[in-house]
């Protein structure tokens, strides 16, 4: 067994915090067009009139969806075993329920209701003129992530309690090679395809209180695998020992596939609509998610820990604010989109970029201000 020192722990947390900041910024960015359609009929019409923008936005969302939530679950699993060892299982469970349960409750009963209720005051909103009882209130929205994370943490805690063994570091076990990467991607690709084929179920779920799972539920088994992989990797420091050549080559393959999908989306629209394309290509796109995602995950993990000085401590500090930014980003993004649109910026490219940038800055800044409070900092 190998003991690790404090500097090694700090090193690991620095690049992981940097990754979290980048991922949450991408989450906010890819939500811009989706929320714009829901927030304003005018923005929706602008997007429909810009098929190239719609194609690129759809492509960017698909590409980001192959890795950003995946890597967040991987990191969550990676940090879990040492956290339990540090705090003890009982204390960890209590604090984790507070850290995840309170934000989830606040989101469902307060934060996520701000958007539909706010729409009652905006004439351009689809919610304008509706009665309160017809609004989609008390939805889980993006906080599906917290619900799933609570479940994964609970399963691991039960396993740790039954196993009754302490967390330790063993660097003698080699890092999984390309065969393991390929096999896991192939199996999960098939699972993604099967899960994604139940489109009617996921569509119905989007109109229910667990709407966030309607958008992300088909990826749950992939998230579970990466969370479990993160827990296992923590014992062997696999994330710090990723093979550079393998990461680069897989990333190059991911780029090739990504741009091939972009070319397909730009050239295969029917009158600006992607419905026919998605009906035919979605099983393939679902199967490709782990194949493409592994390359992006590997390059982020490798590049950030070898170039920490580029982001520096400010990016790591933003990573510590990322959880709060994720919680509050939807109402902030809503305000950013509506504000930019009402100010007269109707070019969809400029509107989207401006609203995304504004929302990212305000969400992280708002989270940073909230975390100045000792009580709130213990939660987010």
Q: List pLDDT tens digits, range 153-204.
A: 999 999 999 988 788 888 989 999 999 999 999 999 999 999 998 888 999 9
What values do phi and psi take at 270, rounded to 5?
Answer: -110, 95
pLDDT value at position 322? Answer: 96
pLDDT value at position 164? Answer: 83
pLDDT value at position 166? Answer: 81
Kindly report the average pLDDT of the chain as a whole number.
91
What values do phi and psi take at 327, rounded to 5?
Answer: -65, -40
Q: Is the pLDDT of residue 271 over 80?
A: no
pLDDT value at position 334? Answer: 95
pLDDT value at position 11? Answer: 47
Q: How far apart are CA 231 and CA 156, in angstroms?
A: 9
Q: Is the pLDDT of residue 369 over 80?
A: yes
SS3 for 209?
coil
- Minimal CA–CA distance to 53: which of 266, 259, 340? 266
Q: How far apart are CA 53 and CA 43, in angstroms?
A: 13
pLDDT value at position 257? Answer: 97
Better pLDDT: 102 or 268: 102
Contact predicate 67/289, CB 8 Å: no
How much of the chain, in percent, has pLDDT values that exceed 90? 76
Run of H or E including 95: helix 89-109
Over residues 59-116, the pLDDT tens digits come to 999 999 999 999 999 999 999 999 999 999 999 999 999 999 999 999 999 999 999 9
Q: Is the pLDDT of residue 47 over 90?
A: yes
Residue 305, Cα to own-chain centre: how many angstroms?
Answer: 20
- Minimal CA–CA distance to 35: which of 57, 56, 66? 57
pLDDT value at position 45? Answer: 94
Average pLDDT estimate for 212-241: 95
Average pLDDT estimate for 312-333: 94
Q: How far apart are CA 218 and CA 238, in angstroms?
A: 27
Q: Is the pLDDT of residue 311 over 80?
A: no
Contact predicate 364/325, CB 8 Å: yes
pLDDT value at position 272? Answer: 58
Over residues 294-310, the pLDDT tens digits come to 999 999 999 998 888 87
């Amino acid at each position: 067994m190998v003991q690790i020192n404090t500097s090694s722990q700090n090193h690991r947390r620095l690049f992981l915090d940097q990754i979290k900041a980048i991922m949450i910024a991408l989450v906010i960015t890819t939500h811009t067009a989706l929320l714009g359609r829901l927030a304003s009929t005018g923005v929706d019409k602008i997007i429909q009139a810009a098929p190239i923008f719609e194609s690129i936005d759809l492509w960017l969302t698909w590409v980001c969806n192959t890795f950003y939530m995946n890597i967040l679950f991987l990191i969550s699993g990676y940090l879990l075993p040492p956290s339990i060892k540090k705090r003890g299982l009982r204390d960890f469970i209590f604090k984790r329920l507070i850290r995840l349960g309170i934000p989830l409750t606040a989101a469902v009963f307060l934060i996520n209701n701000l958007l539909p209720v706010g729409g009652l005051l905006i004439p351009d909103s689809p919610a304008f003129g509706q009665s309160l009882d017809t609004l989609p209130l008390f939805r889980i929205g993006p906080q599906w992530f917290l619900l799933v994370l609570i479940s994964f943490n609970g399963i691991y805690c039960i396993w740790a309690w039954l196993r009754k063994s302490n967390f330790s570091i063993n660097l003698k076990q080699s890092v999984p090679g390309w065969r393991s990467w390929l096999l896991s991607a192939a199996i999960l690709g098939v699972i993604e395809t099967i899960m994604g084929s139940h489109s009617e179920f996921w569509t119905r779920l989007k109109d229910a209180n667990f709407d966030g799972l309607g958008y992300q539920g088909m990826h749950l088994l992939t998230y579970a695998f990466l969370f479990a992989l993160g827990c296992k990797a923590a014992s062997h420091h696999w994330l710090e020992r990723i093979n550079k050549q393998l990461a680069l080559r897989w990333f190059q393959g991911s780029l090739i596939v990504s741009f091939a999908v972009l070319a397909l989306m730009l050239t295969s629209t029917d009158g600006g609509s992607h419905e026919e394309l998605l009906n035919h290509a979605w099983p393939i796109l679902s199967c490709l998610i782990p194949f493409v995602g592994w390359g992006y995950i590997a390059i982020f993990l490798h590049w950030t820990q070898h170039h920490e000085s580029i982001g520096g401590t400010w990016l790591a500090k933003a990573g510590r604010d990322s959880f709060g930014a994720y919680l509050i980003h939807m109402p902030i993004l809503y305000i950013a989109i509506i504000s930019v649109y009402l100010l007269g910026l109707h070019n969809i490219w400029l509107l989207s970029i401006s609203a995304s940038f504004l929302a990212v800055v305000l969400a992280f800044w708002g989270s940073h201000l909230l975390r100045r409070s000792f009580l709130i900092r213990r939660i987010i």
